[in-house]
Structures are given as structure tokens and as C-alpha cells.
Amino acid sequence: MTWLLVLVGAALILFILRDVFHTIWHPTRHGGLSRLVMRSVWRLSAHRGARWRPVGLAGPVGMMTVVTIWACFVAAGWALIYWPHMPDDFSYATDLTPSEHAGPVDALYVSLVTLATLGLGDIAPTSGWLRLLTPIEALVGFALLSATVAWILGIYPALARRRALALRLSHLRRSRVTAGALDSAGGAALLDGLASALSTVTVDFLQYAESYYFYDGDENISLAGQLGHAVDLTDRAERARHPDVRLSAAVLRTALEDLATVLDERFLRTDGPPEGVFKAFATDHGRPWNGADSADGADGADGADGEP
């Protein structure tokens, strides 16, 4: 029974460390505990409607929940390792009775104190191998704190890049770019900039998949609500006479397809064409699809503002 608890505790610790590794340093599309938690929080909040106030808290609350689960599970894992060896392999402060402080709660207390690197010392291991394990747990606690900070510092810049691209698309939609202005060297440069920004956002969704579950409150900074204009702009540019514009439109089309592939494989699973994926993306984030509105006015000389 002793070694069974130790093995269960070790397995729990390794499971959490694996999840931390795949969430922050080696993201994969196979998901994990963090992705499951983020997705669950998102579904509980976002699907109640865009105007429901807690929807904007889904991402931050999801991250807090993930970090809390990481810390609790790691602490519980180490507690399962300590518990079978209490009180024989531990020393106690003079005012503590060992037989009265050898239960699972006491083991969890020792684990939390060690994980948080507090080192109170009122209950400490005396056995050789346990004395080696406690500093290892302290290192794990420090690594978990560092990983959490790295995760936060990575996700929020990714969100800023995504929202900046959405705002740029919103500017183009509201400025009513004419067909003549688009069919020029300046139009080609504009399309190249959009393709570059889309490539960056695609990488962000790969590296920081949890950023998908953050809701963008304002319509103008919501990429889910602005991608339709990017599709319509690409359609218009592919009919341009300027060869540089057509080349840039082809690159932008490829960037859109790559983004659609990542969104579909990692989050939406529609197995549809890029436009269908973007529509599902807009729906999942509580936004109307604005591609049709933009396209209706695109045939005119000055286009339309594409308001949904």
C-alpha cells in the first residue's frame, strides 16, 4: 500500500508537469488538461451570448483555474509520497505530537509548505531519500511559478497582435478603400502587410492556443468579426489589373487558408472550406459574419463599409 500511494503520487506529478510542458513550451493539437479546462470555461460563458458580462472573463478565469489545478495536483502528488512515511521518517517540532500529525492533511501541509518554498521546518523529513525529495519539490514549485509567469507574458502580447490586426481590418472597412486605390503599388503593399500580420496571428494560435478562448469585447478589435473583410478584400484584389496586387492577393489568400487550417484543426473541427471555418469562428465568438455585407458593396466603385 505504501509504494502504491508513492507511485500514484509520482504519476500525478508527472502528469501535471507534462501538461505544463505541452501547454507552454511544446504546444500540440492533441490538447491536455489545460486545453480541456479552458474549453470548458469558454463553453460555459461564451455560449450564453456576447452581451452576457462574464463572457469577457472566460480567458482570465480559465487561466486562473488551470494554474490552480496545476498547483493543487502537484501538492497532492507530493503529499501522497510523504503520507505513508509519516511520522517515522519525519522530525517534529517539540510542541507537536508526531502520532497526532501523521495524517493526509499533515502530509498536504508539508507538501504545500515545501512547494511554496516557505520552509517552516516544524515538520521535516529525516530519511535520506525524503530529504532529497523535498528540495526537488521546492524546485518544481519555483518552476511552476516561472512557467505561469511565462505563460501570462506570452498570451497577452499574442492577444494584442490579434486585436491590432482586427483593428487594422476595421480601419480598412470603415475607410471604404476604392477599387482604384487597391489596384496600385500601394494596394500591393497593404495586402503584403495584412498577409504578414495574419502569419503572425497563425503562429500565435499555434504557440498560445489558449488565447483562442479570450473574448474580444469591442467589435473593431475582434478578429472573428473582421476576417470577413479580409476575405472580401482578397477577392477584390485577385481581380485587379496590377500584377503586384494579384501576387500579393495570392499570398494573402494562402495566409488566410493557413489560418483557417489552424483554427479548424485545433478548435472548430468543421472540415469545411476557409470561409466556412471563419464563419464558425465568428459564431463561436458571438460575432456576425460580415463577409457578405462587404462583398455586396465591393462591386461598386467605392465599396461598402461592411457593417454587420
> Tell me, what's the pLDDT at 296?
42
Pick the closest to residue 84 from 125, 43, 42 (CA basis): 125
- The whole-number pLDDT of residue 277 equals 97
**Can you give the pLDDT at residue 290?**
75
Q: What is the pLDDT of residue 48?
A: 56
Q: What percent of the chain has pLDDT over 70?
A: 90
pLDDT at 58: 87
Look at residue 98 in the predicted model and tell me its pLDDT: 92
Position 307 pLDDT exceeds 60: no
Which residue from 29, 32, 37 is spatially nearest to 20, judged by alpha carbons?
Answer: 32
What's the confidence (pLDDT) of residue 28? Answer: 72
pLDDT in tens, 149-165: 999 999 999 999 999 99
Taking only the tens place, the pLDDT of each residue in 239-259 is 999 999 999 999 999 999 999
> pLDDT per residue over 255-306, tens digit each?
999 999 999 999 999 999 999 999 999 999 888 887 644 444 434 334 333 3
195-249 confidence digits (pLDDT tens): 999 999 999 999 999 999 998 888 999 999 999 999 999 999 999 999 999 999 9
Structure confidence by residue, pLDDT tens digits, 12-32: 999 999 999 999 888 876 568
Q: What is the pLDDT of residue 302?
A: 40
pLDDT in tens, 177-195: 899 999 999 999 999 999 9
Please spell the DSSP secondary structure of the chain, one letter per residue.
-HHHHHHHHHHHHHHHHHHHIIIIIS--TT--HHHHHHHHHHHHHHTT-TTSGGGGGHHHHHHHHHHHHHHHHHHHHHHHHHGGGTTTTEEE-TTS-GGGS-SHHHHHHHHHHHHTT----SEEE-SHHHHHHHHHHHHHHHHHHHHHHHHHHHHHHHHHHHHHHHHHHHHHHHHT--HHHHSSHHHHHHHHHHHHHHHHHHHHHHH-GGGGG----SGGG-HHHHHHHHHHHHHHHHT-S-HHHHHHHHHHHHHHHHHHHHHIIIII-----HHHHHHHHHHHTT----HHHHHHHHTSSS------
Look at residue 49 in the predicted model and tell me its pLDDT: 52
Q: What is the mean pLDDT of the chain?
A: 88
